[in-house]
Amino acid sequence: MAKNSTLSRPPRTPHNFRRAAILFAGGPAPAANAVISAAAVSFLRDDIEVVGVKHGYSQLLQFGPDRPLVEGQDYIMIDHKKLRRTRNSQGIIIGTARANPGKMVSSPAHLDDPERVAPLKTVYDALRSIGVDMLVSIGGDDTLKTANKFRLFQERLPLEAPRIPVVHLPKTIDNDYRGIDFTFGYFTAVDFLATEVRNMLADAEANRSYFLAESMGRSAGWLAYGVAIAGEASLVISVEDIVGKYRTTEETTDAKTGEKTTREIMNLDEVIPRIVATITAREAEGKEYGVIVIAEGLAEFLPSKFLQGIGRDDHGHINISAVNLHDLFADLVSKEYNKATGKKRKITPVQIGYEGRCAQPHAFDVMLGSQLGVGAYRALVEKRLNGVMVSVSGQLQLEYVPFDDLVDPETLVTVVRYIETDSDFHRLTRFLETHVNEPDSAPL
**One-letter amino acid identity for 387?**
G
Decide if 350 contacts 324 (C-beta within 8 A). no
Determine how many CB atoms are found less than 10 A away from the CB of residue 310.
Answer: 15
Which of 7-16, 214-223, 309-318 has the weakest average pLDDT? 309-318
Which residues face 399 on adjacent strands? 391
How many Cβ atoms from other residues are within 10 Å of residue 415's Cβ? Answer: 14
Q: What is the mean pLDDT of residues 333-354?
A: 96
Do residues 30 and 367 touch, judged by C-beta distance below 8 A? Answer: no
The per-residue pLDDT for 145 is: 96
* pLDDT above 70: percentage of residues in the chain: 97
- Which CATH architecture describes the domain 19-183+361-405? 3-Layer(aba) Sandwich (3.40)
pLDDT at 315: 56
Tell me which amino acid residue 174 is.
D
How far are the Cα atoms of 69, 222, 336 from residue 295, in angstroms, in the given order? 40, 9, 20
CA dihedral 262, 268, 271, 273 (to 10 degrees): -150
Q: Quick: pLDDT tens for 204-231.
A: 999 999 999 999 988 899 999 999 999 9
| Measured distance CA(330)–CA(333) in Å, rounded | 5
Mean pLDDT, residues 360-364: 96
What confidence score (pLDDT) does residue 217 get? 85
User: Which residue ranges make up each domain of the chain?
Assistant: 19-183+361-405, 188-358+420-432
Q: Give pLDDT, residue 435.
A: 87
What does the pLDDT look like over 264-286, one tens digit per residue? 999 999 999 999 999 999 999 99
Domains 19-183+361-405 and 188-358+420-432 share a fold: yes
Mean pLDDT, range 357-365, rounded to an integer:
95
Instruction: Check pLDDT > 90 for residue 233.
Output: yes
Task: State the pLDDT confidence band at 1, using cuts at 50, 70 and 90.
Answer: very low
pLDDT of residue 5: 73
**188-358+420-432 CATH choice from 1.10.1040.10, 2.60.40.420, 1.20.120.1200, 3.40.50.460:** 3.40.50.460
Q: What is the mean pLDDT of the chain?
A: 93
